[in-house]
A = this chain, B = another copy of it.
């Protein structure tokens, strides 16, 4: 499967073996390079490998280009030119193409309907790779799910994270192998290399089979339906009724051992392969509580509520049941990683066993219901929601979330305040304090690709993939995360997602200060007077509410405009 086209001869031999798929009924005429190539420059027609419908090919291990994103295609040609990618055919041709030709080709392919010519090898099934694609392997390898960046059902999220759905299986396997060996580079902060190095070859094949099996057009349609149903989009949505597709973990994930050896890589392992924050704790002898596996969820009425709770947790703002209480595009899982399972990212099992508890913020003992309602009030900015307030204690939203939390904590000892992995590790102050201007540089270098140049978050179609960090769609001035020390500690322990690089303490402090120096929705405790509100609820050194520390020097805390959703 992993044989690669080492020469034009082999390449063309493979090409001839592939029946050409029907050309799309595109309104626009394809550029001549697509259909005819340029024999004078030795360039064969693009459609030879990528096929007339732009859906790529298995035999050529050629990418689906149709609807893949104009900027992404332009970027890849550049990668072939500058050596970040190396391919015996594409590398020399990329250098022959003019920028105008590249632009025209990119525009043409992006405008095609999202066709796919992928074929999954008969020994693999879609379900085999679904687990890693949907859930990753956070507890063992801090491995994010593919969909956490590439969007639900791998439909792609912006220029940084291309669609995986409907990509040829052989292309996907090759690329993961190339990331792992270093044959392919240019990934932001080495994030794909970090992912690929954590995968075994067998796992890469399974994940490739999962995405290759997804019909690209249907995946986009289903992903767009998020918010109209109670389900997490999954492969099951794409399967004819009656065909079993329950998400079962592959043996590796279920047994919490990886399947086979890691993929080979050459050269020195990059240093972000060292212990992650959680790994450091583990090295010190901490062992983390393990919530039950998703496969252990009971098949009864309670299990149904647990499932609804997890679905709400991961799709809060768009979920049919909970969406009406959310005034922005946030989801619980945006902060509580691995759907609330991950140690060091405020795991739910630790909260479940430690409430009711006294909270200084409210100066009273809060129940778990009230604590969760607090998330809606502040992080979800319920005031701007359809309902305009938090879900009641009796609502399905609260009952489902509590059921989910309860189940995740199965076996955890009630009241264990020191359970390892609770909350996230406190971050000590640095000698240089924190500075939003320094933080702006950190943000641009390491955060903007996902969260957007203006903190607006990242989307796959209409689905939020990376949480907005400031502005109208972000948490409001009452959320704990608006405090710089809280944000710095969270960022240090958990960002970038999967810790493919590790920020220094100083970077974490500075970028937290930058993030929280922007306007965001009003504090729901706003008294009507900014100075008074600052005095009553803010005013610490870690809190820019009521200051002019933001990039534009305006008074912070007036609250961002609330657009209608």
Contacts and interface: CB of A to CB of B under 8 A. Distances in A.
A365 B312 CA distance: 16
Nearest to A308: B365
B411 A367 contact: no
A292 to B, nearest CB: 9
Contacts of A393: 367, 369-370, 392-394
Given A367-B399, A367-B402, A414 B301 contact: no
Contacts of A414: 349, 352-353, 406, 409-414
Interface in A404-437: 406-407, 409-416
Interface string A374-410: 0000000000000000001110001110110011011
Given A301-B358, A399-B367, A413 B415 contact: no
A357 B302 contact: yes
Given A392-B393, A399-B367, A356 B410 contact: no
Contacts of A300: 358
Contact of A365 (B302, B355, B366): B302
Contacts of A403: 356, 365, 367
Nearest to A352: B414
A20 interface: no
A284 interface: no
Given A300-B358, A356-B302, A365 B399 contact: yes
Interface string A183-226: 00000000000000000000000000000000000000000000
A415 B301 CA distance: 15
A338 to B, nearest CB: 19
A266 interface: no
A97 interface: no
A306 to B, nearest CB: 9
Q: Could you tell me the dominant secondary structure of chain A's interface residues?
A: mixed
Contacts of A363: 301
A247 interface: no
Contacts of A413: 410-414
Interface string A148-187: 0000000000000000000000000000000000000000
A397 to B, nearest CB: 12
A263 interface: no
A364 interface: yes
A243 to B, nearest CB: 29
Contacts of A305: 356, 358, 365
Nearest to A392: B393
B302 A358 contact: yes
Most chain B beta carbons < 10 A, residue from A365, A369, A400, A412 = A365
Contacts of A398: 367
Contacts of A301: 358, 363-365
A379 B15 CA distance: 78
Contacts of A356: 302, 305, 399, 402-403, 406
A71 B331 CA distance: 69
A363 B364 CA distance: 33
A407 B412 contact: no
Interface in A342-376: 349, 352-353, 355-358, 363-367, 369-370
Contacts of A402: 356, 367
B352 A399 contact: no
A367 B369 contact: yes
A453 B367 CA distance: 42
Contacts of A392: 393
A411 B403 CA distance: 20
A410 B415 CA distance: 5
26 contacts: A300-B358, A301-B358, A301-B363, A301-B364, A301-B365, A302-B357, A302-B358, A302-B365, A305-B365, A352-B414, A355-B406, A366-B399, A367-B369, A367-B399, A367-B402, A370-B393, A370-B394, A393-B393, A406-B414, A407-B415, A409-B415, A411-B413, A411-B414, A412-B414, A413-B413, A414-B414
Given A302-B358, A356-B403, A365-B399, 4 more contacts: A353-B414, A356-B402, A365-B403, A406-B415
